[in-house]
Structure 1
Amino acid sequence: MRQKKILNVHNKSSKPDNIVKSENMVIESCIEIEKSMPYFLVDFFIFLKSAVAINTRLAYLRDVQFFLTYLISTTDLVIEESIKEIKAEELNRLKARDINRFLGDYCSRYIIETKNSKYVMENHNRSLSRKRSSLSVLFKFLYREEIISNNITEGFNPIKLPKPQPDAIKKLEIDEVALMLDSVETGSGLTDKELQYWKKTKIRDKAILILFTTYGLRLSELQSLNISSFNFGRGEYKIYRKRGKEVNMPINKSVESAIKNYINNERINFIEKSEDKTDALFISLQGTRMTTKAIRAMVKKYTSIPLGTTRNKGYSPHKLRATAASSLIEYGFSIYDVQSLLDHDNVTTTQLYAAHKKNIKREIVKNYELEDEFNE
C-alpha cells in the first residue's frame, strides 16, 4: 500500500504554515472540480482565481458543477452523459427560463439517493440567491468572452431575501456571558463525565471563550491561531481574516492573562503528546490542533448552561460574535469602531446590533430632560 506523502511547505510569505496548508486544501478542491468540467470553461477558472477569495471560488465552482450535473441528469437540454463533455453551443442555447426553472423549481427541493438512504434537500432563499449569483457570474463571463451570444442573466428572476430583524439576533446577554465564564471557571452545570474533561481543559476553554466574546472572532480565525501569532511585548496578536487580510489585534489585560495562564499551566501538558511540537495555540488532549468541530462543540456546551437548554441547543461560535458586537455597543462604543473590530464589510451589518440595544429610545429621552435645563 502506497504511503501518503507528507505535505511540506516552502513558505516565503508572512502567513504561518497552517494558513498556507489550509488554503492549499481549498485550492486542491477547486482543481479537482475544474478537472471534471468542460475545457471551454478554463478561462472562467482563471478569472475566478484572480477575482474572488478562494472560499468563494470553491463555492462558485460547486454551484456551477451542480448546475451542469442537473442539465445532464434532469433535463434534455444537453445530450452528453458527463459534464466534461458538455459543449459551449449547448450553453449558448439555454434561455433565462431554463435557469429560472433550475433555481425556482428544482433547487428549492430535490432528492439525493445513496445506496441505503434517501435525502430530501431543501434550500431557503439565501442558498438559492447564492446559486443565482454563481450562475450570473458564469453567464456574464461567457457573454463577455463571446462564448455565448446573449446575456441571459438579465432575465433571471429576482430572489427576495428576508430583511434581517434585530429582535431575531441570537446572542448572550451580558449577565449570561458572566454565567458562562463562571461555569468554565468552576465547572458548575456540567455532568460528571464532562467534569472529568473540564479538569484537564478548563483554562484552555476559558481562554477560547474570552477571545470569542472580546473580539468576536470568526471560528476559522480563532482555530488557526498559533503561539507565534502573539507578541505580548507589543501587546498585540495577528489574525488572518477573509480574503487573506492580515490584521494585528491589540491585547487587553484579561485576554493576556487568560492566554498566558493557558500556555504556562495547561497547554504544556498537552504538548508532551505532540510529535511535531506544534505551534498551534489551542490543542487537543491528543496534542494536535483543535478542530473547528471540537471548538464548536465546546462553545455549545458552555453557552447551553446560561441558556438553560440542552447541549445541542447551545449557541455556536458565530452567536458569540453577535454577543461581542452587541455588548460593545451597549458599553458605548460606536458602530464604526465595532465594524472595524469585527471586520464587517458593511456598516449596516453592525447597525443591526445597535438596533438590538434594549430600550434605546427610552434611555435617550430619559437622559435629555430639557425642562431641567430651563428650570436651572
Structure 2
Amino acid sequence: MARTPGPAPAVTSPETSSVLARSIQDYLLHVGVERGLAANTLQAYARDLRRYEEFLAAAHVTELGHITRHHVSEFAQGLSDGADGGSALGLRSVARTVVAVRGLHKFWALEGMSDADPAADIHPPQAGQRLPKAISVYDVTRILEAAGTDTPTGLRDAAMLEFLYSTGARISEAVGLDVDDLVLPESLDDGPSLVRLFGKGSKERIVPIGSYALRALEAYLVRGRPVLVAKGAGTPALFLNARGGRISRQSVWTILKAAAEAAQVQTVVSPHTLRHSFATHLLEGGADVRVVQELLGHASVTTTQVYTLVTAETLREVYAAAHPRALG
C-alpha cells in the first residue's frame, strides 16, 4: 500500500535567519511531497534541521553561500556530546541528523540555491566501535598556553580550558558547575583539589583537579569572576559569560576554537576533544582503565576500553617505525 506523506513540519525559530528557515522549509516540502517520506521521519528531519539552523545562527551565518565545510563538520562533530549547543545524541540520531543535513545541502545545490555543497564529503558515523579523536600532549599544551588574557573573560577562558583537560569533564558538566561544587585547599600543600561533577542521569562523581588548572581557577575566582558576576543578577554558576550569567556550551566551543587557531593547531578540536585527550594521555601514562572509567563517569568499563585501542594503535605505529625488523 502506498504511503501517504504528511505535510512537512514548519521550521520556526525566531532567533535564526528567515532565509535559512525558508530554504529549509523548501527542502522539507520537497522530501515530504516528492520523496514521500513518512510523517515521523519528516518530524525528525525538521527537528534535526532546526538544530542545524540554530547552530548556524549562533555562528552568525545567515546566508546559504556563507556555509562552509568547516561549519558542517563542527556541527556534525558536536552532535554526540551536545557541543553544538543542543542535547547529546546517540549514534543513530547523529547519523540521521547528518543525513538530513547532507540532503539539505544537496537539494540547495541542485536547485541552484547555493553554488557549492559543503556537506558532500561529510559522512554519517557507521555502526560499530569508533575510536575517539585525541590530540597530542604537545598540541593540548599549545592550546592551553594560547588561551586567555589578563582580563576577566580571558582569565575565565584559561580556567575553563585548563579545567576541561585536567578533569576530563563533559562540556555540559563544566558549564553546569556552581562555585560550591569546587573543593579547593588553602594551598597546594594542604591536600588535593577536587570537584563534584554531575554526569548523565545526574550521577555524581568526585574528580581531582591538577595544579595547572587549580592556579588558573584561583586567578579567575580572585580577579575574573567577581568582575563578571557584578554585571549580572547574581548566580552561583562557576563559569560566567560577559553579562554575568552562566556560560553556554556554544561559547565554550568558540573559546576553544579561538585558542586552537591562536596556537596554530591544524586539527579540528571541540571541548570533547579535550575529554578524549584526557583519557588517552592517562592511559598512555600508565593509568589503570578502571581508574579512568571512574574519572570519566562511564557506567561500563567497556566504554572506557575504546581508549585502549587508541593507545594500542599508537604503540603499533611507534613499533613499526622504530623496530629494525618490524617491516620486511
TM range (shorter): 0.5 to 0.7
Q: CA deviation at 1:265?
A: 1.2
The within-5 A match list for 1:1-376 is: 73=6, 126-127=92-93, 161-166=126-131, 169-184=132-147, 199-233=151-185, 235-275=193-233, 277-306=234-263, 308-309=265-266, 314-357=268-311, 359-361=314-316
Q: CA deviation at 1:229?
A: 1.0
Aligned to 1:319, the other structure's residue is in SS state helix
- Between structure 1 and structure 2, the one with the greater Rg is 1
> Which structure dedicates a bigger proportion of its chain to helix?
1
Equivalent position amino acid for 1:349 in 2:
T
Conserved? CA contact 1:223–1:282, under 8 Å: yes
Q: CA deviation at 1:243?
A: 0.6
Counterparts of 1:254 and 1:106 in 2: how far apart (Å)?
48
Aligned to 1:274, the other structure's residue is in SS state coil
Q: 1:270 to 1:163 in 2, by over 3 A?
A: same
User: Deviations for 1:243-280, whole angstroms, at most 9, x for unmatched residues?
Assistant: 111222233333322211110011111122122x2111
Counterparts of 1:260 and 1:337 in 2: how far apart (Å)?
27
5+ unaligned residues in a row in structure 2: which ranges?
Answer: 8-35, 51-62, 65-75, 77-89, 98-124, 186-190, 322-328
Identity %: 24
Aligned to 2:260, the other structure's residue is in SS state helix
Q: 1:218 to 1:359 in 2, by over 3 A?
A: closer
Equivalent position amino acid for 2:134 in 1:
K
Q: How well do the aligned residues superpose, as a CA RMSD in angstroms? A: 4.3
Q: CA deviation at 1:216?
A: 1.3
Moved over 6 A (4+): 109-114, 128-131, 362-366
Taking structure 1 as the reference length, what is the TM-score of the superposition? 0.49
Q: How many residues align?
A: 223
Q: 1:106 to 1:212 in 2, by over 3 A?
A: same
Equivalent position amino acid for 1:245 in 2:
K
Q: 1:320 to 1:125 in 2, by over 3 A?
A: closer
Q: CA deviation at 1:356?
A: 1.4
Aligned to 1:356, the other structure's residue is in SS state helix
User: Deviations for 1:130-183, whole angstroms, at most 9, x for unmatched residues?
Assistant: 99xxxxxxxxxxxxxxxxxxxxxxxxxxxx9532343xx322210001111121
Counterparts of 1:232 and 1:171 in 2: how far apart (Å)?
29
Counterparts of 2:146 and 2:277 in 1: how far apart (Å)?
17
Q: Which has the higher contact order (CA 8 A, sep 6+)?
A: 2
Q: 1:347 to 1:201 in 2, by over 3 A?
A: same
